[in-house]
């Protein structure tokens, strides 16, 4: 009986070990640090436990697993952590927005640690009140709607997904535009100035709360699809009438 129990215990202990054998896929590691530990130090420990397997012990990058984070500043880790893109489950898949796995203190700590590794851009502080919604709409139509759609609904791309933007915050938009995550292009300030970025964000804010003036909302895509739908319904009705008339003539 004792032998059986020992065996069961050994299996129970070994199973998680075997599951954890893959060096990349692992759970979230939260170190226990004394209160008052400087953020950068906590950040380094969180990084060692959750990021180093792909980005390297000193964030220098590991070919085939994760890029170097030296010089990305505070901007990129803030974006990737606050929107739950990182830690990635395994290399090679598209990082997707989800619930962040770290709390605010932990995120600040990791961001401070990564930012301490090299000179890089800070977390932006956009001011949509300075922007113009109409200029923003034009900029969005030119640069963003091809993937995210003018009504922010998002869409499928070859090899990825452009997420819907109806819940995003101003900082998130400012960060995404400057980073260009995954398949999204990077827009440096030479292409979209800080002033234009304010307008772009003002438009995104406005479009998140559309006012439907009459007609069907149809996903807020405007009068052209509404016309198309009318035509579709009308032509279906016409076909039905033709079929009916045809039957009458035959009988």
Q: Which residues bind ligand HEC (CB under 6 A)?
A: 24, 50-51, 53-55, 65-67, 69, 72, 76-77, 80-81, 83, 85-88, 90-91, 94-97, 110, 143-144, 146-148, 157, 160, 162-163, 165, 168, 172-173, 176-177, 179, 181-185, 187, 200
Q: Which is nearer to ligand HEC, 161 or 218 (CB)?
A: 161
- Between 157 and 221, name the residue whose CB sits nearer to ligand HEC: 157
Calpha distance 200→173 (Å, rounded):
9
Question: What is the spatial distance between Cα 230 and Cα 236, in angstroms, rounded to a whole number?
Answer: 10
Please tell me the distance from the alpha carbon of residue 236 to that of residue 195, in angstroms, as a whole number: 49
What does the buried/exposed string (b/e) look like for 129-139 if buried means 16 or more CB atoms within 10 Å of the residue's CB?
A: eebbbebbbeb
Between residues 195 and 226, which has the closer beta carbon with respect to ligand HEC?
Answer: 195
The gap from C-alpha 185 to its chain's centroid, in whole angstroms, comes to: 14
Closest CA to 151 of 228, 198, 219, 225: 219
Minimal distance, residue 32 CB to ligand HEC, in Å:
17
Q: How far is the CB of 42 from ligand HEC (least distance, A)?
A: 13
Minimum distance of ligand HEC from residue 184's CB (angstroms): 3
Least distance between ligand HEC and beta carbon 14 (Å): 24
CB-count burial class (<10 Å; 0-12, 13-18, 19+) for 111:
buried
Give the tokens for residue 238: 């016409």
The CB-of-84 to ligand HEC minimum distance in angstroms stands at 8
Residue pair 115/77 in contact by the 8 Å Cβ criterion: yes
Contacts of 238 (CB under 8 A, 6+ apart): none
**Which CB, 50 or 137, lies closer to ligand HEC?**
50
Give least dist CB 193 to ligand HEC, A.
12
Q: How far apart are CA 121 and CA 108, in angstroms?
A: 15
CB of 51 or CB of 151, closer to ligand HEC: 51
Query: Which of 146/215 has CB closer to ligand HEC?
Result: 146
User: Peptide bond preceding 184: is omega within 30 degrees of 0, i.e. cis?
Assistant: no
CB closer to ligand HEC out of 141 and 228: 141
Give the chain's end-to-end CA distance (angstroms, integer): 86
């Amino acid at each position: 009986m004792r032998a059986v129990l020992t065996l069961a215990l050994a299996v129970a202990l070994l199973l998680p070990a075997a599951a954890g054998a893959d060096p990349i896929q692992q759970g979230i590691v939260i170190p226990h640090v004394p209160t008052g530990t400087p953020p950068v130090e906590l950040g380094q420990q969180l990084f060692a436990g959750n990021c180093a397997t792909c980005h390297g012990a000193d964030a220098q990058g590991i070919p085939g697993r994760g890029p170097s984070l030296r010089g990305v500043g505070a901007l990129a880790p803030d974006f990737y952590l606050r929107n739950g893109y990182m830690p990635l489950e395994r290399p090679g898949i598209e990082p997707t927005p989800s619930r962040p796995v770290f709390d605010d203190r932990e995120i600040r700590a990791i961001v401070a640690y990564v930012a301490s590794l090299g000179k890089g851009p800070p977390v932006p502080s956009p001011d949509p009140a300075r922007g113009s919604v109409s200029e923003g709409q034009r900029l969005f139509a030119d640069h963003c709607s091809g993937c995210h759609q003018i009504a922010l609904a998002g869409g499928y791309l070859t090899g990825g997904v452009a997420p819907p933007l109806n819940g995003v915050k101003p900082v998130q938009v400012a960060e995404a535009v400057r980073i260009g995550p995954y398949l999204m292009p990077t827009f440096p300030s030479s292409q979209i100035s800080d002033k234009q970025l304010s307008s772009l964000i003002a438009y995104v804010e406005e479009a998140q709360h559309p006012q439907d003036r009459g007609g069907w909302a149809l996903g807020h895509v405007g009068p052209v699809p509404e016309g198309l739908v009318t035509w579709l319904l009308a032509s279906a009705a016409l076909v039905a009438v033709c079929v009916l008339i045809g039957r009458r003539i035959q009988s």
